Amino acid sequence: MATLYIVATPIGNLNDFSQRAIDTLKNVDHIGCEDTRTSSVLLQHFQIDKPTFSFHQHNEHQKVDYLMDLLNQNQTVALISDAGMPGISDPGFLAVRSAYQNGHDVCPIPGPSAVTAAIAASGLPSDRFLFEGFLPQKKGRQTKIKEIADSDITTIIYESPYRVVKLLNTLAEFCEGTRWVCVARELTKKFEEIDRGQLSDIVERWNSKDSIKGEFVVIIAGKTYED
């Protein structure tokens, strides 16, 4: 029986990399990376010199067998994604499930994740929330947004800079302008921005921006929430 470590990496600020995460990566036999080239920068910075292999959404099904072979040979393996917690809108679930199915241990090394950073800083109700991750891009998108508009609990969405303003405008079609929303951009980075307010004001602000860059989390309070 071997152990699969699921290791969180920084979402922008290298100082968020925990000592336990660094120690774990220095001690495992192999590191599965969402993108070996992206992770090599992080690994080199922290002087972590271990064999890596790629484990991303397009080869996850094939690579899970390779990963299980390593664990079955009693080798320890850590899984990291480009940023944040593996398995959160990133590869990880298949590997973890397979590790259990093969009788191995799974050990999380928690740390940065955009979803927890954003909800914690949003000032919107966080006792219960629904994490939607990325919404479907085409089919089902409108229906999902209508569902969110109708929801009584806080919803968290990951969105790309190319679609975030469109998302806010579509939300405005289905929600009251008084609905509370938080747009969190570039969390933990130099140009971090947390814009909290009522939907009509938020839409106006983001519609008037010239260029939209960076990584985004959008949080929508439940429809009965009043500030």
Q: What is the largest CA-CA distance in the chain?
A: 58
81 touches ligand SAM (CB under 6 A): yes
Please report whether residue 215 would count as binding ligand SAM according to CB under 6 A. Answer: yes
Is 158 in contact with 90 (CB distance < 8 Å)?
no
Closest by CA position to 196, among listed 184, 186, 210, 188: 184
Measured from the CB atom, the residue of 36 and 188 that comes closer to ligand SAM is 188
Size of the site for ligand SAM (CB under 6 A): 24
Name residue, tokens 């199915």.
101
* 3-class SS string, 158-213: EECCCCHHHHHHHHHHHCCCCCEEEEEECCCCCCCEEEEEEHHHHHHHHHCCCCCC
**Rounded to whole angstroms, how far apart are CA atoms 5 and 152?**
36
Q: Counting contacts by CB under 6 A, is residue 85 touching ligand SAM?
A: yes
Q: Which is nearer to ligand SAM, 29 or 186 (CB)?
A: 186
* 2 to 41: interface string for ligand SAM, x by CB under 6 A: ---------xx-----------------------------
Interaction mask 119-158, ligand SAM, x per CB under 6 A: ---------------------------------------x
Nearer to ligand SAM, 2 or 181 (CB): 181
CA-atom Rg of the chain in angstroms: 19
Which positions lie near ligand SAM, rule CB under 6 A? Answer: 11-12, 81, 83-85, 88-90, 113-115, 158-160, 184-189, 215-217
